[in-house]
Amino acid sequence: MKRLLWMFAVLALAGIASAQEAPQAKTQDRMFFPRDMFYGYGQFDLAGPHNEIDPNLCRWDAGQDGGVNAPCTAFARYMISGNIEIRPFGRGIFRRFMIFGEPKFLFGKNLPQTLYTWSFDAIGVERSWGVGIYLGKGFELRATQHSMFSRFGARDRYLGVADLGPNGPWGRYNTIGVRKYFGQRRW
């Protein structure tokens, strides 16, 4: 009899544990465009003098081509960047699918060793986007397309002999990768 009660208690505890593992809110998610379909962040970065962000549009010695009046001053002081993930499906096998984008906007007018300003002149945008699927246990499979750097305004033309062209730091490329998430934030 004690053995039977002990087995019943173990089965009851196992049933409670499995009921706690399956939250009821998941079954009430909408199929298309669930309430929590957007995830991401925005970020503002400031690079101090003698530490400018180099989008690789101008040679490092661009100041030798005219000093402070050199035409190629595409070294950034400010960067506004972000990441957005869109998970448009709330239920079914497609709930693990996502689309993401990561733009980086650069601003400034500087030349290493020659000209240091706090100007907020627009330089351009570097962007990547792609699709991913959650595989389980913190793993995601991602296909990413990184576009070439797009210049803005007066910087969208030939900037003299120090101009390196439109490729930016990485140029255009595509990748297939696996991302692993780990840990849990306490805040």
pLDDT in tens, 27-79: 567 888 888 899 999 999 999 988 899 888 888 888 888 888 988 898 999 99
Q: Between 17 and 116, whose confidence is greater?
A: 116
Nearest residue to 92 via CA among 25, 32, 23: 32
| Secondary element (H or E) of residue 122 | strand 122-136
For residue 41, what pLDDT is reported? 94
Cβ–Cβ < 8 Å for 76, 45: no
| Secondary element (H or E) of residue 151 | strand 150-151
Q: Measure the CA–CA gap between 152 and 155, rounded to whole angstroms.
A: 6
- Sorted by sequence, the CB contacts under 8 Å of residue 27 that are 6+ apart come out as none
Q: Measure the CA–CA gap between 114 and 50, rounded to whole angstroms.
A: 10
The 10s digit of each residue's pLDDT in 78-113 is: 999 999 999 999 888 899 999 999 999 999 999 988
* Residue 185 scores a pLDDT above 60: yes
For residue 36, what pLDDT is reported? 86
For residue 180, what pLDDT is reported? 93
Q: What is the mean pLDDT of the chain?
A: 83
For residue 44, what pLDDT is reported? 97
For residue 175, what pLDDT is reported? 93
Beta bridge pairs of residue 133: 97, 141
For residue 103, what pLDDT is reported? 95
